[in-house]
Structure 1
Amino acid sequence: MPDCTSPTLMSAEELQARIDAVSADIEKQKEVLKQLERDKSSLQRQLNNIHDPVARLPLEISSEIFLHCLPFGHFHEYQSQVHAAPILLLNVCNTWSDIVLPTPELWAHIRIDLRNEELLQV
C-alpha cells in the first residue's frame, strides 16, 4: 500500500483507485467491528447471567417472585404503566424477559389506559 503522504504525484485514476481500495478496507473493518460488537454483547449477556441471582433460580421460583411485583388492588383499580410490572420486568434484561413472557399469571390482568400519553409514546 503506497504512502498517501509521499511526494510522488499520482494520476487521477491512481488516486481514484486508491480511494476505492481504502473505502473497501473501511467496509471490511466495519464488518469486523460489527462482529466484535455482537461477540461482546453475547459475552456480556453471559456475564450478566452469572451475576444475576434470578437467572440462577428455577423458572417456577423466578416467576413466583415476579408475581409479587404486580401492583396490588382489584382489577378495575389496576393501572397499566410502563414503569410497573410486568412491563417494567420485560425491560430489565433478556433473561428476565424470558421469564416474564411465558408466565401467564403476569399477563392475566392488564388494563391499558389509552388516555395515558406516556403509554402512547412508547
Structure 2
Amino acid sequence: MKQLEKSRILSAKQVSMYGTGVIAAIQSAMQIEQANLPVYPRRKSPRVPLVVAGRVKALKKWRDEQVDRLALDPALICTKALMSSIAQQKPRKVSDLSAISDMKNWQIKEFGQDIVQVMRKVR
C-alpha cells in the first residue's frame, strides 16, 4: 500500500478507498501467463498514394507556419485526419472545402484561401 501511496498515481483518499482493490487486481493480473493475455488486432493503416502523401506534407508545412505565427496548438488549426481528408480531395476552390465533413466553418473562413493555395501548388 505504501508503494501505491508513493507513486502518487492516486490521491491519498483514493488509496484509502480503492487501494486494496487496486493492489488485488494488479496481483491477479500479474499471475496471468503471457500467452493468455488479450491481444488486440493491429489494423494496418491504409496505403496512401505518394501524391496524397506529398499533399499532406505540404499541408503540415503550412500548418507549422501557422502554429509559429499564431502560437496555437497544431491540432486546433488542422488535425492530421483533416489534413489527410483535404489531401485526398484536393479542393480547387474555397467552396470545395465545405464538402469535407471534418472541416469547420471557422477553419474555412480563416484558413480556406491558404489551404486552397497550398493544394494548387502541389501535384
**Structures share a fold, TM > 0.5?**
no
**Larger RCO (CA within 8 A; separation ≥ 6):** 2
Q: Which of the pair is proportionally richer in helix?
A: 2
TM-score (norm 2): 0.25
TM-score (norm 1): 0.25
- Higher CA-based Rg: 1
